[in-house]
Amino acid sequence: MATYDLVVIGTGPGGYVCAVRAAQLGMKVAVVEKNATLGGTCLNVGCMPSKALLHASEMFEEAGHSFAKMGVSVSAPKLELPAMMNFKQQGIDGNVKGVEFLMKKNKIDVLKGTGKILGTGKVEVSADGKSQTIETKNIVIATGSDIARLKGIEIDEKRIVSSTGALSLDKVPGKLLIVGAGVIGLELGSVWKRLGAEVVVVEFLDRILPGMDGEIAKQFQRILEKQGFAFKLGAKVTGVDTSGKALKAMVEPAAGGTAETLEADVVLVCIGRVPYTDGLGLKEAGVALDARGRVQIDPHFATSLKGVYAIGDVVAGPMLAHKAEDEGVAVAEIIAGQAGHVNYDVIPGVVYTTPEVSSVGKTEEELKQAGVAYTVGKFPFTANGRSKVNQTTDGFVKILADAKTDRVLGVHIIGREAGEMIHEACVLMEFGGSAEDLARTCHAHPTRSEAVKEAALAVGKRAIHM
């Protein structure tokens, strides 16, 4: 019977990063993975493949609509969807091989099969009808999340799809109906809209991107509508009739009222994700869950069962790969007797559409609710030199600072490459920096990032270029 210092169940971004950090700290580590490949949802059917399709579809859109105005004459681009899907697969394969390499490099044992916790220090790994019991001093649950399902709507991953199926459609749908106006729905909607689909988004709430800054969400909705998205907000899909050639979705107001029928070739259900704990044996082992099915942990990631910890999508907090990675590092360091820590006030979020949307820290709505006095600095990309010459002027930068101390509390950006620009705000906030600090930091010219500096100047009502 093998004995380890740490066994990590799940090899998504949280799990494999935790395993690598623990190995760096001198532990004997094994990971348990039920799927054929390592990397979890993120690498196989989530973050990575979606970014490949977002990039490829953006290039297709650019070639068809933007090249001519720059003086680049090309014939109308022709979509070869199988080749685009192959481009996506190459990216997946490269990343998965990268994780396999990291396991070998750090001498981490990979145990293929389904992991089940039998109690403190014992994990059962089952595959192909056989099982073995592994002894370990510590266990980390990093099993991630699964798609949330809509009652009465059966996902077949062909006509009614989740994000997984939407990444592998074999043809561009004429009409795509998306249930849910969150990050994943808007990203995948962007892919298929650029490739030729007619896209309608039905959202239960009266706004898109719940949890994002309201002003940013409103401007983003206007931009998406200009791109051809149609939105039905404050509405819910109550059922989908699959009997005919076209799908018929029943849509009614969220508050109740007269239903209407919308036809679609594909319905994408994107209403969020739920913690994945199936088959882990948590109840029998005595690992407590909260009311939403998440593993309960203390401030040091420890569960109610001694020697068992949990991180990532399976615990509370934003379901983001980078949050899981930071927790993986922190818990490995805690197990090693160090002071691992995650600053939950500085976890950026990005929507990888065109333009991108990024944010870190508090929204205006959150500051108002908490009764915090704040100042706002905003700067539009229409006044940014680089954005002007590239003719990519959609969006703006918004900085929220404490009215008394000038400490930056939140930064929100909508614009090209917003996902890359957010990190200077993250670094500043990690050091408790002020808007004044950001405003006095020299930014290279001409860059889009100058808009961040100008927004910081605008907090003190002294933006130069506006």
Looking at residues 138-145, what average pLDDT do you find?
98
29 assigned ligand-binding residue = no
pLDDT of the residue at 2: 67
Query: What percentage of the chain has pLDDT greater than the value 90?
Result: 100
In one-letter notation, the amino acid at residue 454 is E
SS (H, E, C) the chain: CCEEEEEEECCCHHHHHHHHHHHHCCCCEEEEECCCCCCHHHHHHCHHHHHHHHHHHHHHHHHHHCCHHHCCCCCCCCCCHHHHHHHHHHHHHHHHHHHHHHHHHCCCEEEECEEEEEECCEEEEEECCEEEEEEEEEEEECCCEEECCCCCCCCCCCCEECHHHHCCCCCCCCEEEEECCCHHHHHHHHHHHHCCCEEEEEECCCCCCCCCCHHHHHHHHHHHHHCCCEEEECEEEEEEECCCCCEEEEEEECCCCCCEEEEECEEEECCCEEECCCCCCHHHHCCCECCCCCECCCCCCECCCCCEEECHHHCCCCCCHHHHHHHHHHHHHHHCCCCCCCCCCCCCEEECCCCEEEEEECCHHHHHHHCCCEEEEEEEHHHCHHHHHHCCCCCEEEEEEECCCCEEEEEEEEECCHHHHHHHHHHHHHCCCEHHHHHCCCCCCCCCCHHHHHHHHHHCCCCCCC
What domains can you pick out in the chain, each with its CATH number?
4-146+274-336 (3.50.50.60), 160-271 (3.50.50.60), 349-460 (3.30.390.30)
Q: With bands split at pLDDT 50, 70 and 90, how would you rate the model's confidence at 15?
A: very high
pLDDT of the residue at 158: 97
Query: What percentage of the chain has pLDDT greater than the value 70?
Result: 100
Residue 376 has pLDDT above 90, yes or no: yes
187 assigned ligand-binding residue = yes
51 assigned ligand-binding residue = yes
Looking at residues 92-106, what average pLDDT do you find?
98
272 assigned ligand-binding residue = yes
Residue 96 has pLDDT above 70, yes or no: yes
What confidence tens digit (pLDDT) does each residue in 303-324 have? 999 999 999 999 999 999 999 9
Looking at residues 267-286, what average pLDDT do you find?
97
Looking at residues 399-404, what average pLDDT do you find?
98
319 assigned ligand-binding residue = yes
180 assigned ligand-binding residue = yes
Looking at residues 442-448, what average pLDDT do you find?
98
pLDDT of the residue at 404: 98
Is there a catalytic annotation at residue 300?
no
165 assigned ligand-binding residue = no
> Do 142 and 14 meet the contact criterion of CB atoms below 8 Å apart?
yes
Q: With bands split at pLDDT 50, 70 and 90, how would you rate the model's confidence at 186?
A: very high
Residue 79 has pLDDT above 70, yes or no: yes
Average pLDDT, the chain: 97
Looking at residues 245-251, what average pLDDT do you find?
97
Residue 73 has pLDDT above 90, yes or no: yes
Given 65, 300, 423, 445, the catalytic residue: 445
pLDDT of the residue at 1: 61
Q: Using omega within 30 degrees of 0 as the cis cutoff, is the peptide bond preceding 355 cis?
A: yes
Q: With bands split at pLDDT 50, 70 and 90, how would you rate the model's confidence at 255?
A: very high
pLDDT of the residue at 75: 96
pLDDT of the residue at 266: 98
Tokens at 370, concatenated: 């908490």
Q: With bands split at pLDDT 50, 70 and 90, how would you rate the model's confidence at 191?
A: very high
